[in-house]
Structure 1
Amino acid sequence: MSRKLVRPRDNRWIAGVCAGLGRRYGISIGLVRLLFVLSIVLPGSQLLVYLVLWILMPNEDRHPTY
């Protein structure tokens, strides 16, 4: 897994957090989004984690060099 954890500039819906997680860990982006939406009905701090990741995950470079 050599990809960095970044929010991609394409394929974003809100902030790109789910897309970044899916790309980084080789999981379908749609599956990550579905799991996040389903997790909202469970008790916990999912929205807070999403907001923290939104703040901490950098945007993808316009011209990646990897």
Structure 2
Amino acid sequence: MKKQLTKSPNNVVLTGSLAGIAEWIGVDPTIVRVIYVILAIFSAGFPGFLLYIALAVLLPSGRNRNNDNYGNKNPYNRNTRNPNPYANEHKQRKQAEKVNDDDWSDF
């Protein structure tokens, strides 16, 4: 089975598009990046910039959705390590003090 052309999930600089192309071809991603920058410079930069945006939008993500490190299970997501401090239902709420309406000494 041939490998599909997807963005690289591991070797990402901006979007992983060029690294995905390099993995698909089977070469080092640095070589593809250098060739892309050289071609973008010789094409006056603008078409190369538009091509990169098109690659970033059109190439599918190479992430495995069944991976344990995706989404909320990501170890870099702080919400998985720090529980919600407001979720504790067993804490008693602070009781409000009763205010005497007859005391108008501040005015």
Q: TM-score range by the shorter chain?
A: 0.7 to 0.9
Which of the two has greater helix per residue?
Answer: 1
> Quick check: 41-50 or 6-15, which moved more?
41-50
Matches within 5 A, 1:1-66: 2-43=2-43, 45-62=47-64
- Alignment deviations for residues 5-55 of structure 1 (CA, whole Å, 9 cap, x no partner): 000211100000110000111122110011111122112511111111110
CA RMSD of aligned residues (A): 1.9
Give the distance between the partners of 1:60 and 1:53, measured in 2 at CA: 13
Q: List gaps (5 residues or longer) in structure 2.
A: 68-107
Which amino acid is 1:38 matched to?
A: I
Q: List gaps (5 residues or longer) in structure 1.
A: none
State the 4+ residue runs in structure 1 displaced beyond 2 angstroms. none
TM-score if structure 1 supplies the norm length? 0.82
Give the distance between the partners of 1:56 and 1:38, measured in 2 at CA: 22
More relative contact order, 1 or 2 (CA 8 Å, 6+ apart): 1
Percent of aligned pairs with the same amino acid: 23
Between structure 1 and structure 2, the one with the greater Rg is 2
TM-score if structure 2 supplies the norm length? 0.54
Give the distance between the partners of 1:28 and 1:59, measured in 2 at CA: 19
